[in-house]
A and B are shown apart, each in its own frame.
Chain A
Amino acid sequence: AAGMFLRLLSDIQWRAAHPKWRRMTRSQRSTSTTAEPHPVSLPAQAQVVICGGGIMGTSVAYHLSKMGFKDIVLLEQGRLAAGTTRFCAGIVSTARPVSIELKMAHYSNKLYQQLEQETGVQTGYMKTGSISLAQTQDRLISLKRIASSLNVMGIPCEIISPKKVLQLHPLINIHDLVGAMYVPEDALVSSANVSLALATAASRNGVQIHERTSVSHVTIQKGRVTGVETDRGRIQCKYFVNCAGQWAYELGHSGEEPIHIPVHACEHFYLLTHPLQEPLSSSLPTIVDPDGRIYIRNWQGGILSGGFEKNPKPLFTEGRNQLEIQNLQEDWDHFGPLLSALLRRMPGLEALQIMQLVNCPESFTPDMRCIMGESPTARGYFVLAGMNSAGISYGGGAGKYLAEWIVNGYPSENVWPLDLKRFGTLQSSRTFLRHRVMEVMPLMYDLKVPRWDFQTGRQLRTSPLYDRLDAQGARWMEKHGFERVKYFVPPGSDLLDLDHSKTFYKPDWFDIVGSEVKCCKEAVCVIDMSSFTKFEISSTGDQALESLQYLFSNDLDVPVGHVVHTGMLNEKGGYENDCSIARLSKRSFFMISPTDQQVHCWAWLKNRLPDDSNLVLEDVTWKYTALNLIGPRAVDVLSELSYAPMTAEHFPSLFCKEMSVGYANGIRVMSITHTGEPGFVLYIPIEYALHVYNEVMNMGQKYGIRNAGYYALRSLRIEKFFAFWGQDLDAFTTPMECGREFQVKLDKGMEFLGQEVLLEQKQNGVYKRFTMFILEDHDTDMDLWPWWGEPIFRNGRYVGKTTSSAYSYTLERHVCLGFVHHFDEKTGEKLVVTTDFINQGEYEIDIAGQRFQAKAKLYPFSSLFTQRRRKDEVELSGYQRE
């Protein structure tokens, strides 16, 4: 049966495509006379070695060679396009919730469309369009949100009525539908042939392709890739690209120094049928019915239908390797619910004859986003894997971005949401991956509402106070494996269960967070912020200061005890990280970064700090518990506990001092709160954590202290226009573009990374501007809530997207933060954004197709800041992301 399928989907075209590049590789070889499996010997060295001949590997090879890279070798353990790529359903769909994924899919579609013409290889490309169905109003809202972002990207897309669905696809039962989204330019391809076409083009551009060649491991010396060991010998190389699909994890772990690539395979089933009596047209749109958990496309006059079931079957947890993916066992009982959904959607298909149930493994990642980028521990080791069953949609774009990464040092777009460095070693446990992918796979078609949290793989990293907080009603979310409190449910009150709390409207915790915010404003709250990444950098001489002065944009040569907010910028002036650095002594610094910077920031610094044994970088994240005391009475609590005056005269803002709190000595107290409210963060050696927490809570009682969570913190920081890295700030945003010139010291007397670009921007202006929007005619109780990614319209024209939003309990309005561009009305070219341009516009925010008037502001409301201590350094920073 497997053979039959293989023949049907790809073999005919394979034979057509095969000679084209085979002839080329043959011509390089003159000695061998027979058709041996390995006609060409491997080169001794190459610039790039790509492992994996599926859609990812061939796409990377194609793009690298197009960009003029030479000496590229692609190795495939079996035959080209014979793994998951061969079995892929071949649906190219641009309807993706994450913006960068949407861009990749859009590019892929354009690439595949012209690929046949470019290469002469038939790709089976057919523009059929796709229809995503909504059985519920909530589903329709989520489709409308996607439609909004597709439209502003210029991708045709419309929300249509059930009746219109029937006109587009006569077989569909529309009785239970409330609406649908139609994307007319989505397409179908034969994914194996797309891969072969890319290979053919790459081969013409000089890429050497070797089938039946297995990579045993990659050799790494001094943190750099030096070569690849294969079953046919060694290749020296500078860059290695792991495109091994579901074997990427295995391959990453095969070397002496493991590269952690968190992917795990699940069985994925789809059905093939014989043609209908009146064969289906090959231009019939693809149907996605997420509420029924299925997709349906036309296939050779019949249909191909698969889905993402609630109870996935993970496999290869033990890492069984095999040459090509065998057609695994068909499991009809497992497919039953999906078959029911199919017949419910297309009742007319009852009499249609089954051809085969295909079982092909797909690899999934812990957060449903694919994995690309360079290993944090081995330079030159790149990864592109974990496509979460959207490999063909992402293939083109992902290959392009990765090629750009290798050639230019970074892709042309911000790909942080897909960056391998968002994961650490902690996500590479097999047990974790197995459990998590069982949650991720059904999520593909689950309703994605704001602020959902994964339920599996939890309670891995916790603060020592976890049990204490949990007992007091804490509700948790997870960041980089660390449990963090969202809010505290007061005793006696009950929240909705997980399933019922999913909403696009006002959430059930609204009042709870409101009271926590109120307490932060009027009394004092304590938030456990232990998850933040904490590094210490010290040296015997001035090396630490000198290095940091180069790597950070602000002036770090401040008096001991001062805290500096600063960006860690790249060559283009963009934020690689945004952090607070305390100068502990002349020669040592304490650096606080967002939680998910632990791997990225470490790698960034390691790669750029001079190789000097007298300069020590240490990750001390695990050593400290951080308690954030927020509110006007924090000063009273702390001074009572320490018998030290904590008032502004003695302990000014942005100050750091080691002191005793209760019985515990050596507590690092910093006068920052990450919210713009007065207060302190206490960095407590973990063995003192419980003691200090108890002391704070006891002493705080008379000042009305209470626990608070990140949702309160988030509301506080957004209403004060604080941007945070990973959400608002990224590698393509400079301090100038987000009103943070004051955190840059352009004239600090020495050169620093990104300085040139900043100077240029200071001179010529910026092309986007971080702006705060206050929603005017938005009813918090009745209207859809903004989240992030909502299009911003200025005078009716699209100018950018929001990056975060929150309800401000003080302003009693929703606040959205986002970037405004100035596109030329005729050419669409980006123009300089001036203050006047921002101020002289009428703004609207589009939430799922509904536009709300918004007032734009470039500076926060000064009335929200209760006190200002140091005029020059208003604290403007926040680290958390939802």
Chain B
Amino acid sequence: FYLTPAQVNSILKANEYSFKVPEFDGKNVSSVLGFDSNQLPANAPIEDRRSAATCLQTRGMLLGVFDGHAGCACAQAVSERLFYYIAVSLLPHETLLEIENAVENGRALLPILQWHKHPNDYFSKEASKLYFNSLRTYWQELIDLNSGETTDVREALINAFKRLDNDISLEAQVGDPNSFLNYLVLRVAFSGSTACVAHVDGVDLHVANTGDSRAMLGVQEEDGSWSAVNLSYDHNAQNEHEVERVKMEHPRSEEKSLVKQDRLLGLLMPFRAFGDVKFKWSIDLQKRVVESGPDQLNDNEYTKFIPPNYHTPPYLTAEPEVIHHKLRPQDKFLVLATDGLWETMHRQDVARIVGEYLTGVHHQQPIAVGGYKVTLGQMHGLLTERRARISSVFEDQNAATHLIRHAVGNNEFGTVDHERLSKMLSLPEELARMYRDDITIIVVQFNSRVIGAY
């Protein structure tokens, strides 16, 4: 049983989304040309989330991917809320006052974000009031704290991450009279999510990362070839600094039990995450909340389960590492993706595939026979393979889709193999997760002309 190329395409393209920064007078003065995003589920339902928005009260654009675990509730909440926290953190004092006044007097609120959403990217209606109140509390505190200094993007990102995670934790502890919401906030807190968020404002690119999603810059070298620059560090057992950090934060007696089988406390892959209160709350707090919580929570073995060797919580933080990069004309694009992509593809290949896709130039060296011994058959095979590589480019109108096609369908030669693609996409739900992870990708394309003019 095989999927036809058309069926494959309809699966691959179901979640694709593109946004082009609008032009004024035939000019786009933004350093961002636009972005393509897409996601391919392996879990049912998918646990990855993505967000993109333009800041309306400050300059800049926000883009992020969120890889949920133990359910999608936390990733969903973070994808809805984090950008508001960041935007608010960036707002000048006067604007915060203006907004607070508007809310106070029941006037229309200044819009803070313009979202760029795929129809499948939903926001929870039920929780919006709750989320709004938490956010309002945050900006009220910011107003009170008015330091008079201009807002530093790095600080804002770190504050926003930490504050949102704190709010998630608090909301779960306080609970909600509405039983649906009560259950929701608990699910959000007990599930977890990584976050990899980019903030682009002119030539200033900040990437805030928590967890093992990754941001990568695509750079075009002078000879036209493509190379990759990492703009985030993975927070997992492969990152020595991260292992070191965790160990520093806990007594030496726990050294052996902290990281087992490359997992935090032998359980969690990412070493930083939103939610996951099981790795943050004290045992007492966990027990109290679960017991007083709704039955669904109480009956859930996972939530009741306390991690082994759980002595000195918290073991987990949502605090991001922030990397600042000044964009240069040779920086052509940024890829934000969950680990589903990075598990299957090397970043160098990602840089090349996206680079060639975006420029439309396929830097295949022309073949020259020269003095080599080549037979007609060998040449034919080589040309067929090169053609396949090019034709896969033309099938896609979205760089993220193109990348997913390669991630899932690549054969050993680095070309998309339809048979393989068809097999991977027609796996039954229960098997899919064994062969691949959810993949979420955002490819941001930069405007070299604007960047060069800075």
Interface residues of A (CB under 8 A from B): 1, 271, 273, 329-333, 335-336, 339-340, 342-343, 349-357
Contact = CB atoms under 8 A, between A and B. Distances in A.
B43 to A, nearest CB: 41
A298 to B, nearest CB: 15
B380 interface: yes
Contact of B369 (A336, A339, A354): A354
B383 A339 contact: yes
A356 B382 CA distance: 16
Contact of B374 (A1, A340, A353): A353
Given A333-B386, A333-B387, A336-B387, A350 B369 contact: no
12 contacts: A332-B366, A333-B366, A336-B383, A336-B384, A336-B387, A339-B383, A342-B376, A350-B377, A353-B374, A354-B369, A354-B379, A357-B369
Nearest to A305: B376
B375 A352 contact: yes
A536 to B, nearest CB: 50
Contacts of B370: 1
Given A333-B387, A336-B384, A336-B387, A351 B368 contact: no
Given A336-B380, A343-B377, A357-B369, 8 more contacts: A271-B376, A339-B376, A342-B376, A349-B376, A349-B377, A350-B376, A350-B377, A353-B375
B369 A330 contact: yes
B367 A351 contact: no
Contacts of A352: 375-376
Contacts of A271: 376
B376 A354 contact: yes
Contacts of B387: 333, 336
A331 B375 contact: no
A343 B380 contact: yes
B288 interface: no
B364 interface: yes
A349 B369 CA distance: 17
Contacts of A340: 380, 383-384
A350 to B, nearest CB: 3
Contacts of A335: 383
B373 interface: yes
Contacts of A1: 370
A645 to B, nearest CB: 63
A497 to B, nearest CB: 22
Contacts of B383: 332-333, 335-336, 339-340
Q: Which 4 pairs, one residue from A and one from B, show the smallest C-beta to C-beta distance? A: A350-B377, A336-B383, A332-B367, A354-B374
Given A332-B366, A332-B367, A350 B386 contact: no
Contacts of B375: 350-354
A616 B100 CA distance: 90
Contact of A351 (B364, B366, B377): B377
User: Size band of the B side of the interface?
Assistant: 10 to 19
Nearest to B374: A354
Nearest to A344: B380
A346 to B, nearest CB: 9
A331 B366 contact: yes
Contacts of A333: 364, 366-367, 383, 386-387
Nearest to A330: B368
Nearest to A349: B376
Given A339-B379, A340-B380, A356 B369 contact: yes
Contacts of B367: 330, 332-333
Interface in B377-418: 377, 379-380, 382-384, 386-387
Contacts of B373: 353
Interface string B357-373: 00000001011111001
B202 to A, nearest CB: 40
Contacts of B377: 343, 349-351
B444 to A, nearest CB: 31
A123 to B, nearest CB: 29
Nearest to A271: B376
A880 to B, nearest CB: 44
Contacts of A349: 376-377
B454 to A, nearest CB: 36
Which of A342, A350, A352 has the most chain B CB atoms closer than 10 A to its own CB? Answer: A350
A331 B376 CA distance: 15
A693 to B, nearest CB: 41
A776 to B, nearest CB: 53
Nearest to A356: B369
A338 to B, nearest CB: 10
B366 A339 contact: no
Counting chain B CB atoms within 10 Å of each CB, the highest count among A273, A331, A349, A354 belongs to: A354
A272 B379 CA distance: 13
A162 to B, nearest CB: 23
A343 B376 contact: yes
A339 B379 CA distance: 9
Given A354-B369, A356-B369, A357-B369, A332 B376 contact: no
A340 B382 CA distance: 11
Contacts of B386: 333, 336
A332 B374 CA distance: 12
A332 B364 contact: no
A326 to B, nearest CB: 15
A340 B383 CA distance: 9
A356 to B, nearest CB: 7
Contacts of A356: 369
A329 B384 contact: no
A5 to B, nearest CB: 12
Nearest to B362: A333
A339 B368 contact: no
A113 B368 CA distance: 37
B185 to A, nearest CB: 58
Contacts of A332: 366-367, 369, 379, 382-383
Nearest to B369: A354
B364 A339 contact: no
Nearest to A355: B369
